Structure 1
Amino acid sequence: MAEKRSNQSAMHRRETERYYIDGNTARRLNEQPQIPKRTKKNIQEQPKQAPVRHKKRVSAFDLKYTLFLVVSVGITLGTCFMYLHSNSALSDAKQNVTALQTQLQTLQEQNTSLKGSLNTSIDLDQIYQIATGELGMVYADESQIIYYNSSNDDYVRQYESIPDKQ
């Protein structure tokens, strides 16, 4: 009986060393594949044509795969260069717009200052004196003013003669 127990405990120990139970699956621990020993007989029995066919198939696959990778990398690089080019063009356009805005602001300031200097140099009283005194100009009478309706209120272009007073 003692011998039976020692056999059972030894078997149990071997089983616990070989199996690990995780959930409902059992795996073998530290199991290594059995590699057949190489002998001259084994080496001579192996077919030599299978690796050659495999090499041909692999080399054809490698060529297609390599071409695919080259084309993919080329497309990616082309896209990157196009992005960088458009980004630099956009940056140049922004700088150009900024320079033109600065130039516009400078010209508007010059225009405002010249307009102010012209307005201060014109004396309207002197113009009235010259027009009425020297040139004999007078204000128009009510009988000389002709009113008419225009279709456009913003400005008037006269292509025809002004209609007579009715």
Structure 2
Amino acid sequence: MARRADGRVNSTDRTKRYTPDTFEDGSAVRRLAAQPQEAPKEARPLKSGVSSQTRRNRARATQISAGYAVFLAIVCTLCIAACVAYVKLQTVVTTQAEDITSKEKELSDLKADNDAYYNTTVASEDLEAVKEAAQNRLGMKYADESQVIYFNDSENSYVRQYQDVPDAK
């Protein structure tokens, strides 16, 4: 197998071809490709082993342009404002839910009190005594059929009387 001076296999030898991405089992160690003797002047390594072009690229990569910094500041401000607005809305919703719960409890308490007062009133009054007092002491009577006037109410609601009732015929 013929090798060149840089350690690579000659392209004329087709039996084995070595490429950087091939893997070979065994105990043989590959030879490293020889380093170029002289690097170009602008890419010449400095004392630390890093070229000046690499240093400039790294310095440029660590800097942020003014426009990008302003953009990031605006985006961060908008995100913080959205978070604050969300927390405020969450607080309002929680407060309203607590108010609704307290009003529902107050309503149920008032309904219970109203039912209790109604039952007490109904139990304390004797309707037969009221009927007897109205008929005997006050001279009240039940209405005759001739005194009752029927109205057609299409809305199924109560009627307010603003004028005299016309005679029915």
Length-normalised TM-score, structure 2? 0.64
Pick closer, same or farther for the CA change 1:162–1:21 going to 2, 3 Å.
closer
2:151 to 143, 149, 152: 149
The question of whether the paired residues in 1 share the 8 Å contact of 2:8 and 2:33 is answered with no
Pick closer, same or farther for the CA change 1:149–1:80 going to 2, 3 Å.
same
The SS at the match of 2:140 is: coil
Matched residue pairs, number? Answer: 139
Letter in 2 for 1:85: K
Pick closer, same or farther for the CA change 1:103–1:37 going to 2, 3 Å.
same
For residues 101-159 of structure 1, the C-alpha deviation after alignment (integer angstroms, 9 at most, x for no partner) is 1111111111111111111111111111111222222223334x232433444322212
The SS at the match of 2:70 is: helix
The question of whether the paired residues in 2 share the 8 Å contact of 1:131 and 1:137 is answered with yes
Q: Distance in 1 between matches of 2:107 and 2:34?
A: 83
Any stretches of 5+ residues in structure 1 without a counterpart?
1-7, 23-28, 44-50
Counterpart position of 1:83: 86
Counterpart position of 1:3: none
Residues 1-166 of structure 1: pairs in structure 2 closer than 5 A? 8=1, 11=3, 14-15=8-9, 19-20=19-20, 34=36, 36=38, 62-143=65-146, 145-152=147-154, 153-166=156-169
Pick closer, same or farther for the CA change 1:163–1:113 going to 2, 3 Å.
same
Q: Distance in 1 between matches of 2:134 and 2:105?
A: 43
Q: Distance in 1 between matches of 2:145 and 2:120?
A: 36
Letter in 2 for 1:74: T
Determine which structure has the larger strand proportion and give its number.
1
Deviation at 1:20, TM superposition (A): 3.9
Counterpart position of 2:28: none
The SS at the match of 1:136 is: coil
Deviation at 1:82, TM superposition (A): 0.9
Pick closer, same or farther for the CA change 1:20–1:125 going to 2, 3 Å.
same
Determine which structure has the larger helix proportion and give its number.
1
Counterpart position of 2:49: none
